[in-house]
Amino acid sequence: FKYNSYTFLLIQANVIVTDWYGAHGDDPYTLQYRGCGKEGKYIHFTSNFLLNDDLTAGYGPRGRVFVHEWAHLRWGLFDEYNDEKPFYINGQNQVKVTRCSSDIAGIFVCEKGPCPQENCIISKLFKEGCMFIYNSTQNATASIMFMQSLSSVVEFCNARTHNQEAPNLQNQMCSLRSAWDVITDSADFNHSFPMNGTQLPPPPVFSLIQPGDKVVCLVLDVSSKMAEANRLLRLQQAVEFYLMQIVEIHTFVGIVSFNSKGEIRAQLHQINSDDDRKLLVSHLPMTVSAEAETSVCSGLKKGFEVVEKLNGKAYGSVMILVTSGDDEHIDNCLLTALSSGSTIHSIAMGSSVVENLEELSRRTGGLKFFVPDESNSNSMIDAFSRISSGTGDIFQQCIQLESTGENVKPHHQLKNTVTMDDSVGNDTTFLVTWQISGPPEILLFDPNGRKYYTNNFITNPALQTARLYIPGTAEPGLWTYTLNNTHHSLQALKMTVTSRASSSAMLPATVEAFVERDSTRFPHPVMIYANVRKGIYPILNATVTATIEPEAADPIVLKLFDNGAGADIIKNDGIYSRYFFSLAVNGRYSFKVHVSHSPSISSLAYSIPGSRAMYIPGYIANGNIQMNAPRKSAGRSEEEQKWGISRVSSGGSFSVLGVPAGPHPDVFPPCKITDLQAIKVEDEVTLSWTAPGEDYDQGEANSYEIRISKSLQNIQDDFNNAILVNTSKLNPQQAGTKEVFTFSPKLFTNGPDHQPDGETQESHRIYVAIRAIDKNSLKSVISNIAQASLFISPNSAPILTRDHLILKGVLTAMGSIGIICLTIIFT
């Protein structure tokens, strides 16, 4: 749990309370970026929600709201209401309210008060100004994921009460499974036993944690293995940059080195000036030992000794552990590390580091990184740029704008541009590093055309770095740099640019890169994510690319998307994602993401993500309508971005096992289609969806298999025997493209379907599902199930103009063709 009214913290908190965005609504919500049954990222509350009792009328008691949001966060449930689709047409051609359970009662309310349903439903369209208001007193006990505010609601929908027809996210994301079914499949229930009737739950434990001194200790390997592949030089370059530029002011820093034994190089020293930073740099190891043996535990022991001298304990401190050794005794100090209360970030250099190094980071809440031996890799500096001392203050943290490296041929150049937006610019530094010979010829242009040359940079020949500090606030706009290799041999040249927030009145854009899990086994893919935000608001329409570096293979560049398809489950939530399955070798993989955004007015949109507790507009109490205050708008706002955005962030590392040697057959199917929609226009049904790929969400699938049924149960349980639609003229497009396909259901649906209970019943709906097939006949998982109404009542009132009709989720009007009825059921 974390409360902070001034800064947004990129920390591992379950609940974040902040007032930054109270002007945009008090909706409690949970950021969910993974699928059904998977944990979310965090719950967000405003302090107004927690303190203003007037809001409980709309949301219900705060404890009930917390249970609703906790179910999102912990068990990966989704909402069972739908503001955009509050009504749908069921299989018996009846208009129903989107709810779970269907037993929750209420009445239709028109502009002038209660009214019969027929006054609101015109030609199966819902009239503007109508709404459905629920009774304040109910007999229904479910569901918490629908309307947590009702006093009678004490349960989640189960197999008996779940409404599979409702067009809500729970049905779409969880393949029509009830909330309780998903919960009982979770580790919380699978790995525990119910308490007996007399047993009381254990009392909760509360710990008040307050920020203290920021304490960091560098624990650096100096064994002979660090002499290989210029590892020591690259470590020195990165640590110098960390000490001079990245670590925050007022932080206490100590330095320890180790081979088979640990050695204290610098006791804790507080950074208050550049002289303090330079003093710490002077204590960095400059040579490696002749000894190959490494003892990580010996290094950590000395590190704990250093940090404990400040307050007598290591609790709350940060260890940055860098090693290239193959120490097999790391487990010997795991319990000591856990009991210390210190966070350990680990950086593995090269391929010989033992597999369980990362366990220290996993168990202590630290980050883990891998640095390959390629000379043009900038991953060591990227790792240190990602690590913060734990201040949590985004206005003090270093923000990486650029990271690139290239092997430049003699008399060739590395040239690029960096966008300096107006939310950053303070403490801006350009760092150039090289591996052999002297520095390159450097030329840097600021947005006003001012030139900076090599002699303007502070050069450190011993560490082979050149650093330019921009005083004051750097000019916003495009900065262009050129690095010329003036030597007669290939030169690994790298550029890093960092800055800090320009003002405490303006939040800077940030990016956080991460993977779904730390390791995978071939052929299971890795899902790569980039959380791109300004505060807690998502940044939309950015260009996001991930660069993945294996231990012994060329880097792979992968574009990430926020389109609600493939690995990305929610569109426009600011979390960009993609499947990564180019698993060439076993071992560790390092990755980082680069975010760019062109200047525009409307493409940087900020919106509250969608998984949130339902706000009730009013109730029926004792036969009277009692309306609540209108819900404070939480909609989108547009912000002009004059300069664009450039950001870089390391995502750390992940491990891959089981990759077969040599060529292997195709084992990657197309990904599941999750956004299938169906609308009926006159006598035809038009389907739309986002195209999957030949392999997951990349390339082009070979064909589609579309099947329909009049029975939801039949198509859900027996897709292979549902009616096959002719798709011979449907050619799959590139992954991520919007697909559209139209067919006539009359060719397939003459006569009733066989019902699951053996009875025959006329149905006025069809249910549609689809799967993609690749060229090797590998098939995707069956899509969500869409449904469309086939029947329009002949007794319906005349159709009004579209300006007077609204079907929030039940209709879409198609030009002058007519009015269609639509409901979508998802799997």
Give one word for 102, left, alpha or beta, with left for phi > 0 and alpha for psi -120 to 50.
Answer: alpha
Sequence letter at residue 129: G
As a whole number of angstroms, the distance between CA 440 and CA 402 comes to 18
Sequence letter at residue 283: H
Q: Strands (DSSP E) along 151-236, which ranges?
A: 215-221
Q: Which residues pair with residue 501 across a beta bridge? A: 424
Residue 399's nearest CA partner among 653, 648, 597 is: 648
Residue 393's nearest CA partner among 504, 477, 244 is: 504
Q: Which residues are catalytic?
A: 69
Contacts for 729 with CB less than 8 Å, ≥ 6 apart: none
Residue 351's nearest CA partner among 374, 331, 368, 334 is: 374
- How is 435-457 classified by DSSP, letter by letter? SSSSPPEEEEE-TT--EEEGGGS
Q: Strands (DSSP E) along 214-304, which ranges?
A: 215-221, 252-258, 262-270
Q: Give the 3-state secondary structure of residue 24.
A: helix
Contact (CB, 8 A) for 416 and 32 = no
Contact (CB, 8 A) for 142 and 150 = no
- Count the alpha carbons within 13 Å of 563 in the hemisphere toward its beta carbon: 18
Residue 417's nearest CA partner among 641, 642, 594 is: 594
As a whole number of angstroms, the distance between CA 259 and CA 807 comes to 70
The edge-to-edge listing of strands for the beta sheet with 424-434 is 399-408, 491-501, 424-434, 465-473, 458-460
As a whole number of angstroms, the distance between CA 827 and CA 811 comes to 20
Contacts for 204 with CB less than 8 Å, ≥ 6 apart: none
Q: What is the DSSP letter of 280?
A: H
Give backbone dihedrals phi and psi of 251, rounded to 5 degrees, phi first. Answer: -80, 140
Residue 685 vs residues 6, 302, 708, 720, 732: alpha-carbon distances, Å: 52, 71, 11, 21, 19
As a whole number of angstroms, the distance between CA 524 and CA 522 comes to 5
Q: Which residue is listed with tokens 């899509």?
A: 783
Sequence letter at residue 373: D
Contact (CB, 8 A) for 245 and 390 = no
